[in-house]
Structure 1
Amino acid sequence: MAITLRRRSKAQFGRAADGSMTLMEHLQELRGRLFKASLGVLAGFAVGWFLLAGWALRTIQEPYCELMARSFIRDHPGKPVPQCPFVQLGPTDVFVLQMKIALWVGLIVAAPIWLYQLWAFIAPGLHRNERRWAYVFVGLAAPLFAGGAVLAYYIVATGLEFLLQFTPANVTTTLEITRYVDFVTNLMLLFGAALEFPLVVVLFNVTGLASAKRLLSWWRIAVFLFFAFSAIATPTPDPFGMTALALVLTALYFAAVGFAFANDARRNRRRVVEFGNVGDDEISPLEQDLEPVERGEPVAGASPIDAPTPVSRPKPLDTRYDDFT
Structure 2
Amino acid sequence: MSLLDREMPDVVMTPDNIRSRTFPVLSNVLVAVAALVVSAAVVLGTGIGNWVLVVVLGGVFYLVGLNVAASRVEGRRAARNRTWQALIYTACVLAVLPLASVVWTLLSKGVERLDSDFFFTTMANIGARDPNGGAYHAIVGTLEQVGIATLLAVPLGVLGAIYLVEYGRGRFATTVRFFVDVMTGIPSIVAGLFILSFWVLIVSPWFNDGNPEYSGFAAALALTVLMLPTIVRSTEEMLRLVPGPLREGAYALGVPQWKTILKIVLPTAAPGIVTGVMLAIARAAGETAPVLLVAGGLARKNPNPFSGGQSSLALYVFQQAGDASKFAPARAWTAALTLVALVLIFTVGAKLLARRNKLTR
Instruction: Pick the structure with more helix per residue.
Output: 2
For the aligned pair, the TM-score class normalised by the smaller chain equals: under 0.3
Higher Cα radius of gyration: 1
- Structure showing greater relative contact order (alpha-carbon pairs closer than 8 Å, 6 or more residues apart): 2
Q: TM-score, normalised by structure 2?
A: 0.24
Q: TM-score, normalised by structure 1?
A: 0.26
